Structure 1
Amino acid sequence: MCTLNRTRYFATCMIAASVVAGCALTPSPTPYQPASDLHGYTDEALAEDLFRVGFRGNAGTSQQDVEDSLFRRMVEIAETKKAGSFSIVGRETTCTTTLRTTPETTCIYHQSADTTFPYYFGIYELESPWHSSPKREYEAVATIRLSSEADCGDYRDCFVTSEARASIGSDSE
């Protein structure tokens, strides 16, 4: 018969509790839905053929999933407006990192996810015994222009609506 001494038993219980707590603290990825509590998609008509579209994920949502959800929303807007194609006029993905640096202070650090023109702003302390694990949230925003033509010509950031739909599938609802 094998028995564990109290120290080993306590250590085993603490490790198990840490694993369970860690799983409980990791949120489920943000579902594709209209924004609620800051997470999900948003869109705003800037003109008849010009829209600002965004998707913000929680800490459980990867950058790729945020960008895929943004593109899905662009396709849905183009379909709703019966556009033959749409062009991305501007686009940016950002990452916001939040961490606790003291019992009373939470610092927020913003970073562009664009590797060609990164920018950083915020406070980032490295020497603090109170550091929490960083919580990263991605947000992607784009401005799109709709066109009735189903032809993009040589435009690089132009998508034929029907081809864009086929590339992401038809699971929009």
Structure 2
Amino acid sequence: MKSRIAIVALICAVLTACASGPAYRPAAEPGDFGYRDNALTSDRYRVSFAGDYGMARETVENYALFRAADVALGHGADRFRITSRETSPVTSYSGGGPSTSIGYGWGYPFWGTSIGYSTGGQSRTRYETVLEIQLGDELPDNGADVYDAEELKRNLAPSVAAGDEA
């Protein structure tokens, strides 16, 4: 019996891990978790990363930077400049409103009743970072908000590959 419980627990753990997928991935649809990028002009792009619930703000910001480096390298640029940066909390609420319950139960040799009151509600917060980046030959080699794309990817790759979410 104990081995069955252990096998079922192991299967559930494996399926849960598979269902969550990697943290750094394209967003499947609007409002989903992951990255998105859009061309604004020939040398400007909007890059965003929306984290899942429980993902630390710093991790979301790092994943957005990592995606910006991917976009720059994908367009043949070795560096990029962030022209706009914003990280916003996105909070969802569930189970709102007060609720009451009355219950009873029995079982030999006991029986009982109960009354409960709950104010209900739970909130969860996740973060989304939106960057506007500029590519091109006219960017300075270094300066405020100018990043070397290859160096940035090299430095952040271990945490992105590990799927750091805390």
2:133 counterpart of 1:144: yes
Q: Which runs of 5+ in 1 are unaligned?
A: 1-23, 105-127
Aligned to 2:26: 34
Indicate conservation of the 8 Å contact 2:77/2:135, yes or no. yes
Q: Considering only CA atoms, is the larger Rg found in Structure 1 or Structure 2?
A: 2
Provide TM-score, normalisation by structure 1: 0.61
Distance of 2:73 and 2:160 partners within structure 1: 11
Structure 1 counterpart of 2:26, which letter?
P
Compared CA separation, residues 169 and 30, structure 1 to 2 (3 A) = closer
How well do the aligned residues superpose, as a CA RMSD in angstroms?
Answer: 3.0
Letter in 1 for 2:25: Q
CA deviation string 1:53-94 (max 9, x = no partner) = 000012132211111110110000111111121000001000
Question: 2:76 aligned with 1:82, yes or no?
Answer: yes
TM-score, with length taken from structure 2: 0.63
The answer to which structure, 1 or 2, has the higher relative contact order (CA under 8 A, 6+ apart) is 2
2:61 pairs with 1:71: no
Query: Could you tell me which residue of structure 2 aligns to residue 164 of structure 1?
Result: 152
Which structure 2 residue ranges, 5 or more long, are not aligned? 1-15, 100-117, 162-166
Q: Name whichever structure is richer in helix by fraction.
A: 2
1:98 — aligned with what? 92
Q: Residues 167 and 160 from structure 1, CA distance in 2 versus in 1: closer, same or farther, beyond 3 angstroms? A: same
Query: Percent same amino acid among aligned pairs?
Result: 29
Residue equivalent to 1:5: none
Distance 1:172 1:135 in 2: 23
2:3 maps to: none
